Amino acid sequence: MGLVTQDLTVFHELTAKENLEFFAGVYGLEGEDKKKRVQEALAFVGLSSKAKQSPNKFSGGMMRRLNIACALTHRPKFLVMDEPTVGIDPQSRNHILEAVKKLRDQGTTILYTTHYMEEVQAIASRVVIMDQGQIITAGSVEELTKNIQHEEKILIDVNDVTNVPIPRLEKLDGVKRIHVQGSTIQIISSVGAGNLDRVLSIVKETTGVVGIQTEKPNLEDVFLTLTGKQLRDGEDERE
């Protein structure tokens, strides 16, 4: 078993290579096998060229990748990853997700916890959604999103969201939920309700429209449907 914790577990006094050598030793690796596994893990996370550098010189994304490498030296068949992409740049995030996909395709069983549902949608074969410590649903991505295929999401970016008459929008036929995130109004409506023109007409009465798009339901919509709450703490929401 391998464990990638949300809190970084690397030693700043050691180089990247020395960190991996330490954890490889903890897992019982020795000699040439240990050396090979360390090189293999560094290459897997794209840090071979940084092997002799201290983590003090690493970016947040590089630190996360080193943290993952420390859990891979013994080639675990079961890997637990707790929020491995928190607070990193998009490039490092994509690198980590590609690494997770590769591990998955190589046969590693991965328990991956995250608040980023788009990551789950990209990598998971089975999903468990929890709220306040309780499992509220489980299944494949296809199974979970199929339950809300009768809904559509309208996203409207506006100049001044405070002027938009949300209660009027909520009274439109077919409108199920409305959330406001920053300058974006997110409207969940029944498929076929034909609300786009009516929504735009009301919004344009009070503010300028910057952009419009419609999306198919995703895992975050599943979470919202089941709990009525936004997924990430700290985001502006309004119902």
Residue-wise pLDDT for 167-195, tens only, equals: 999 998 888 888 898 999 988 888 665 77
- What pLDDT shows up at residue 150? 75
Give the helix/strand (H/E) hosting 220: helix 219-227
Read off the pLDDT of residues 109-147 as tens digits, 9 standing for 90 and up: 999 999 898 899 999 999 999 988 899 999 998 888 887
- What pLDDT shows up at residue 179? 86
Q: What pTM did the predictor assign?
A: 0.72
Beta strands 151-158 and 209-215, pairing class: antiparallel
Can you list the domains of the chain with their CATH numbers?
Answer: 2-114 (3.40.50.300), 150-215 (3.30.2130.10)
Q: How is residue 173 written in tokens?
A: 């036929």
- What pLDDT shows up at residue 234? 42
3-class DSSP state of 186: strand
Low-confidence stretches of the chain (pLDDT < 70) are: 191-193, 229-239
3-class DSSP state of 59: coil
* Nearest by Cα to 73 from 47, 50, 94, 98: 47
